[in-house]
Each structure stands twice: as structure tokens, then as C-alpha cells.
Chain A
Amino acid sequence: MAKLHVSTTINGEPVEFLTEPGESMLDVLRGPLGLTGSKEGCGSGDCGACTITLDDRLVCSCLMLAAEAEGHEIRTIESMAEGETLHPLQQKFLEMAALQCGICTPGVLMAAKSLLERNPDPTETEVRFWLAGNLCRCTGYDKIVRAVLETAADMREAAR
């Protein structure tokens, strides 16, 4: 099978890889690129565990061909902390126990980060609908929503 050569940017670094034309971005991230923080819960865009950003827009990496990354910029959960410094959302999720098994957590965090970048002062309803594509079976979402709202408040305070 003829593989395609793809040049892209992942987490700020230039990356090149070969992909089969039908292969998803998630398969390439988790396979050859070893970025297993993005999880596969369904492969059909219904659970959000594979959430990444493509040119700063949230997408399910299972619903994107790896070939489409050519010339674009991708970010994954692996880029959320800066070195040893966790993103405020990551820190808040730990403090408020907004995760149990943790399998949905990378996707939830990526989605929540994107929300706060667009809307620094979301309502509970806005958080709930923004995160509706991130299934979590452990928490009932309560602590996740509270952690996002508290992080938003902290970040607004810090920005003053």
C-alpha cells in the first residue's frame, strides 16, 4: 500500500510521518507517534476521549484522517502542561477530584481548555453543553463542571 508522507506540527514541534490514506489521526498519534494520551473509546466521534485541536479547533481525532494534518497544527493532551507546570485546569481537576478512572480526562481537559480560551466566564449550562461530547461514566459530571467553573473564576482573577 502506498503510504502518504505528511508534514505537520504537533504540540509546537515539526513532525513528519507516513500514513495509510484511510488511517485516522488518532491511530497515527497513538501508534507511530506514541502520543497515547488521546484515548479511543468509540472510534465514531461519540465519546470525545480522543479530543485534540486542529488549528485551535476541537476535533475528534478518530474522525480525522491523518493525511489531513498536512500543513496544519495539532495539539494533544501531552502539550497541556508546560514542563512540570500543570495547566490550571489540570491542577484544579486534581484538587477537586474531577476524575475517577481518568480515561475520559484528557479529552475533557482539551475541550474545557478550548472553552475557556473562547469564553472565560461560562455559565454552568454553557459548560455542560460544550462538554456534551465528552462522555464520562464515573463522575456524573458534577465535579468536572465545578472544576471548570472554578478554574475559569481563578483564571479571570489572575488576569485582573
Chain B
Amino acid sequence: MNVISNKWIGQRTIRPDGADKVTGRAAYSADTTMPGLIWGKVLRSPHAHARIRSIDTSKAEALPGVKAVVTAKDIVDFPLDKPVMLGIQDMRWMCRNVMAREKALFHGHPVAAVAATSERIAQEACRLIEVDYEVLPHVIEIEDALKPDAPILHDFIKFDGKPSNIAGKLEHKLGDVDAGFAEADVIVERSFTTRPVHQGYIEPHSCLVSVSGDGKATIWSSSQGQFMVRAMTSLLTGIPQSDIRAFPAEIGGGFGGKTIIYLEPLAVVLSKKSGRPVKMTMTREEVFRASGPTSGSMSTVKIGATKDGRIVAAKGVFYLQAGALPGSPIRGAAGCAFAPYNIPNVHSLGFDVVSNRSKVAAYRAPGAPIGAYAAECVMDELAEALKMDPLELRLRNAAKEGTKAAHGPVFPRIGYEETIRAAMEHPHYSAPLGPNQGRGVASGFWFNAGGESSAQVNITEDGNVVVTTGHPDIGGSRASIANITAELLGIDYRKVSVLIGDTATIGYSNLTGGSRVLFASAMVVTQSTEKVIKTLCERAAKIWKIDPEAVEWEDGEARPAGDNAGKFPALSLAELAARATETGGPIGAGVQANTTGAEGGFATHICDVEVDRELGIVRVLRYTSFQDVGRAVHPSYVEGQMQGGAAQGIGWALSEEYLYDKQGRVDNASFLDYRMPVCSDLPMLDTVMIEVPNPKHPQGVRGVGEVPLVPPLAAVANAVYAALGHRFDSLPMSPPKVLAALEPAEA
């Protein structure tokens, strides 16, 4: 690791995009317009499960103002027998998700789209499209989808040789669990369920697309990856990537939900057919009905320990809803559940279950909160059975450098133990509690990711700096990149502009996800900046006519070093920039790399709740998160990640859930009835950042964005248990459920 000063790294600088965002100037996807644009609308299936016999669009096409109509036949088909992977997404499912082909698989599944001169005409045209459906029996819940007589969504999916709704299985094994449990003095086993929850970003999906006469497409949209937009749109429309230019609009929240696309390919085809720019924006109801939430789940976790609190075996079985097309985050659930612990014998199994719901999308540490909810509640119960403090039990078994995780890796230096110790020593952990109050703790792990990243660092003629990277900034990454660049160059951070390039102006960069953005972009920005510094030293050497090796870069200027020290006046960045042409031309450097070395993230949370025993209402009174953040390059935005994740987790635990009616329709597709926490629901969310630098990163960065959502479900559930003495094994812990548990006889 480089030894660097801390002038800017670790400072709470003003974010480069901040002024635009507080004045309303920042351009999100729906804020862009174009001359001549027309409006696209999607016709969605009114049935949860139906074969599409035919679609007649003639009446819609005849409506004055309608410029184009799209159905599945306009989208590239990916045959069912041949997987085509783009990252973790299989295009066989993506092509069927953006537009139903053989069958409509959930209520709200797109079956056609229209572009017209006004939104109202487009809507009216959708009503004129005649779809002949053969309505089929539907299935929503996992337990129903697993029944022998369940309606089968996809004939081609077989499990154990038979048609099944189980679309996939994943297994992690370490040691011998049976032998491990035989050694245990205490074993706790419990089953849990969680409901699907939505990412809840406030900005609905939206795009503006223009396809020109020569077939070149330009896309402005809000996503977690402009290169993902380009690649998927290319695959689904057949337009080569070189003919698609995707601009990353400012993104109004994603949390994983914008790592796939819904509208862009439809808008591209509509624009191509009509010759007009096309704008499409989902309503909030469409967002809830048809964009991906994360999975609901059914799981069973069994953990055994010796009486001195040494965990000897753990087993987990996790069934996750995929929605209508395969691909639930079983890896996150099965892989992360036991990762915080050094357990010699682990067997973790995940099953991917399809049913007639919208296809799930990534949601902040996908699957991991589900696994941790089950595992960390069982840990709590185990601690009680062992008469041991729950943090002490975690500390005794904490994964550390050298621990082999069931999902594969041997951990390098990690800061999990430090999060537990910090929690134990924090005043929160020993603060007194009142009646009907309880305190819970839980830990969590997330893999974190590296991957492809590109950066270009250019020195402007007047001696300022422009840094371009390729990842949409979802939570303040530009501010962190400015800090790093300023630190390396030894200049004021305000001299650094940080931009997100479009697909034509910056090299390929994988999407904003996996808590990878700062980890990866800091690496390529560092390498680019180091190249720039090398060039700057060479230019100074040229001016001084000395060996470039005899020049050092310090405090934003080139200084003669070694034997030449003090022989020439230092040359500042501005002076070197002004003389760039005469010394060799423009100064700048770019690096494109596949970054590796993103190490896992760990966190431990403490939650206090109070329960109104007469109404069944649970309120969170106090919440503190302890997280190994590697290096907090911009502490405010690290804290922001910790706080945002905690808030989402509290919502998941207490109030958020998808509700379906008997016809298989989402019954609460609005912010009114899909209850995300509002400002008055939450206390201040305290954070303790623990910096155990990632040894494999130049600044010690670890991903920090996702692990904050891993512990809260269990932390809240364990707090409710402490308050009531009743353990809830199903989320959300909504008032009717809590009251029924408190007075079971009357319920």
C-alpha cells in the first residue's frame, strides 16, 4: 500500500455534483427533452399467468397520433435451450422480461408498447391493442410453487428430471456437518420467511432515445451502468454496440434495481420505427408492479456449538423467489449467511424458485440480508441457550485473517472482530432500557466486487484537472474520486472536476454494483494520476534539462531532487500545464483495467426498539452501525451508506412487503401502501467507521455500500425478541402480526 498523506483523503469535501442537485439543475433521465420527441407507453398483462395466443395492433396503429407499435416479434429472441450470459444476467430471461413472448408471466408483464405524439394518445392506443389470452392458473408464493400440483411456469425447467418451478440450486460445503453437529452440546434450528421488498428508489425508470436515419442510437437514461444499457440494448435490438451511445443521466437511486433495463430496447425500436425521439417513463405503479424487487424467502438454519461457545457446524437451506424468470440471489443468501464465522463444518444450500411475480433485480447485497436474518437470529438464540452475551459469542467465532469461508476464499486481513469489539465498548451497548424496550445485535458480510473500470485524467491548459470515469455516481463517488486525485497530485480538491463519461467517451466500465465503484475507480484513477505525475516530472526534467529520475512531485509541484535539489525553482502544475505544448504536448493519461482484490465487508449493528403492546407497533429508538470501511475516503458518504442501509433494513424488518390479491395482482403498488420508512419513523442512525485498510488497494478501500443492509433485519428482530420474549420468524413484524403473537388466544 502506498504511504500517502491525508490532506484530502478522509476530508468531508463538497461533492462536485452538489450545487446542481440542491438547485434543481441536475439532469435526471426524465428531465431531458429533445425537439420532436414522442411518448412511449407499455401495454401490460392484466393476468398473472396467461398464454398469448395473438396480438392485434391494427386499431392502435390506426389511431391518429400513433407513430409506432412494438411487440415481442420486434425484440431479438434468445432461444430457451441456449444460455447467453451478460454478466450475471441470462439474455434468455432478459428478452422475455422486457417483452412477454410465449406467455405473460406476471400481472404487469409488458406485452406491447406504443409511441404517439402525446402520452394520452399512447395510453389510448394501448387500450386499443387486442390481446387474445388463454388465462392459466398462477402461483405466487414459494410454498405453493413447490407443491407437486403447482402450475408450472416453464416446461423447459426440470429439477430432478421433472418439470419444476425450481430453476436452480447452489451448494457450499466445508468439512462434514453431520460430524460437526455430533460434536455440538447445543443446537438451535429454526425456519424463517421474508417477503419480497422493493429497492424503493424515488426516481422511476425513464429513458429518452433517438435513433437516427443511419440506424445509430443515442440513449439518455438513468441506470447503474451506461455500458450495461448499451450491451443489453444491443443484444435485444441487434444494433451493434458501436452504433449505440448511452449517456448516464444523473440517477435518482438504484440500490441494485437499475442494474438491468426495462424500457430502453422498447424505446429504441419505437424510435427506429417512427423516426422520432421517444421518451418513456414508468409510473410509480409500474415500478412496483413490473420492476424487480428482491426475493421473498423461506429458509431453515441450524447452528451447533460446544458449551464453551465454539461453533462446530452450521447448515442453511434457502429458497428464494426469482419472480417469473430464473435468477434469484441464492449466492448471496447461501454464501454470506455464515461467512462472519470461523466454522469448520458448513453446508449451505440455495434454491431458485420461479412464480408469477415480476422478475427480481439486485437489491443491495442481493440475498445476503435474507441469509443473515436467519443465521443471526439463530445466533441470538444460541447465545441465549449458552447463557452467553450475543456479541461475545460472535467474537469467539469471528472470521479473521486466515479463516476459510464456506463459499471459497481464505480471508486476508479483515476488520470483523474490530466491529464486534467496538460495539461491545460503545455506550449504546450498555445504555439502560425502559419497559417494553429491547436491544438486539446482528452482524453481516458482503462479498464486494472488483471488475472492469476505466479512467482518464487530463490536465487542462490552465492547470486544473478533469477526471472521467465510467460508473454512474449513485452515492457520492465523484466526491471521493476528487479527494483521491487531489491527494495524489497535491492540489486543492476544487481544482479537480470529476465526470462520468458516456459509452463513447470513456472505456468500458462495469456497472455501479457490488460495492465496487470506489474500489475499482480509485485503482484506475490512481494509476492514471501516477502516469500523469510521471509525465509532469518528465516535462519539468525537460525544462531543467536534467534526468527525469531526478525530479520529484510534491505538494502540487515538480521539484528537483537528489543532487539537483534546490538548483531550480519548483514548477507548479499550472506552470507545467502552460508549457505543455512546448514540452511535448497535452498532458493526460488513461487506464483501463480489470481490478481485483476487493475484499469482503463486515458490519455489526445494535438496535433498540420499543413495542406498544396494545397496538403491536414496533418503533426503533436507537440504532448504531459498526462497519469495517477499509478507508473512508469521504467519511460523510461512507456514513451515508451505513445510514441508508440501516433505514432500508428497518423498513424490511417492520413495514415493507409486497401484497398480492387472489388474482395474483400486486395489491399495494404505491408509496402509500408499500410502507417505506418516513422521516418521523426513524431515530438518528449512528455510525462508527472502523478503518482496517484493504491490503490489496492503493488507498485501502473496501466496498461499503451493501453490507449496511445485511445485519438490520436480524438486529431489529433480535431487539423485538428482547423486548417481548417472542421470536418472530417471519418478516415484516407488522402490527397485526405482533399483536396476534402477544395475544394468541384472541387472534
Contact = CB atoms under 8 A, between A and B. Distances in A.
Interface of A: 30, 35-44, 46-47, 49, 76-78, 80-81, 86, 90, 93-97, 99-106, 109, 124-125, 127-129, 131-146
Interface in B640-654: 640, 643-648
A12 B27 CA distance: 23
19 contacts: A36-B27, A41-B671, A42-B284, A46-B672, A90-B22, A95-B12, A96-B636, A97-B634, A99-B22, A101-B253, A103-B201, A135-B202, A136-B679, A137-B201, A137-B202, A137-B253, A138-B253, A138-B640, A142-B643
A38 B682 CA distance: 25
A93 B15 CA distance: 11
The size bracket of the interface on B is 35 or more
B365 to A, nearest CB: 15
B676 interface: yes
A137 B23 contact: no
A158 to B, nearest CB: 19
B679 A128 contact: yes
B202 A86 contact: no
B678 A94 contact: no
B203 interface: yes
Given A86-B23, A94-B18, A47 B476 contact: no
Main secondary structure on B side of the interface with A: loop
A132 B679 contact: yes
Given A39-B203, A49-B202, A100 B646 contact: no
Contacts, number: 178
A36 B250 CA distance: 13
B28 A103 contact: yes
A80 B253 CA distance: 23
A95 B15 CA distance: 9
Contacts of A139: 640, 643-644, 647
B23 A144 contact: no
A131 B22 contact: no
* 7 closest Cβ pairs, A-B complex: A37-B24, A103-B252, A140-B647, A102-B21, A97-B636, A46-B671, A140-B643
Contacts of A90: 22-23
Interface in B244-273: 250-255
Nearest to B651: A137
Given A46-B672, A97-B640, A135-B678, 8 more contacts: A36-B31, A41-B252, A43-B283, A81-B22, A100-B474, A100-B637, A105-B22, A135-B200
B46 interface: no
B26 A143 contact: no
A141 B251 CA distance: 19
B186 interface: no
A100 B475 contact: yes
Contacts of A136: 202, 679
A25 B17 CA distance: 27
B127 interface: no
A41 B203 contact: yes
Contacts of B250: 101-102
Contacts of B684: 124, 142, 145-146
A90 B31 CA distance: 21
Contacts of A100: 253, 474-476, 637, 640, 644
B23 A95 contact: no
Nearest to B203: A103
A103 B24 contact: no
B542 interface: no
Nearest to A41: B202
Nearest to B648: A137
A123 to B, nearest CB: 12
Contacts of B31: 30, 36
Nearest to B17: A102
Contacts of A134: 679
B679 A141 contact: yes
B680 interface: yes
Contact of B284 (A35, A43, A99, A125): A43
A143 B251 contact: no
Given A100-B475, A100-B644, A129 B253 contact: no
A140 to B, nearest CB: 3
A141 B682 contact: yes
Nearest to A141: B679
A26 B408 CA distance: 52
B19 A47 contact: no
Contacts of B27: 36
Contacts of A30: 30-31
A136 to B, nearest CB: 7
A36 to B, nearest CB: 4
A110 to B, nearest CB: 9
Interface string B583-624: 000000000000000000000000000000000000000000
A156 B27 CA distance: 34
Nearest to A97: B636
Interface in B30-54: 30-31
B25 interface: yes
A138 B475 contact: yes
Nearest to A146: B684
Contacts of B218: none
B646 A140 contact: yes
B678 A80 contact: no
Interface string B633-674: 010110110011111100000000000000000000011100
Contacts of A99: 18, 21-22
A77 B21 CA distance: 10
Contact of B22 (A46, A86, A137, A140): A86
B708 to A, nearest CB: 9
Interface string B191-211: 000000001111110000000
A142 B12 CA distance: 16
B36 to A, nearest CB: 15
A128 B513 CA distance: 31
Contact of B23 (A43, A81, A129): A81
Among A101, A132, A141, the most chain B Cβ lie within 10 Å of the Cβ of A101
B687 to A, nearest CB: 8
B203 A101 contact: yes
B672 A44 contact: yes
Contacts of A101: 201-203, 250-254, 474-475
Contacts of A40: 30, 204, 281
Contacts of A93: 18, 22
Contacts of A43: 283-284
A130 to B, nearest CB: 8
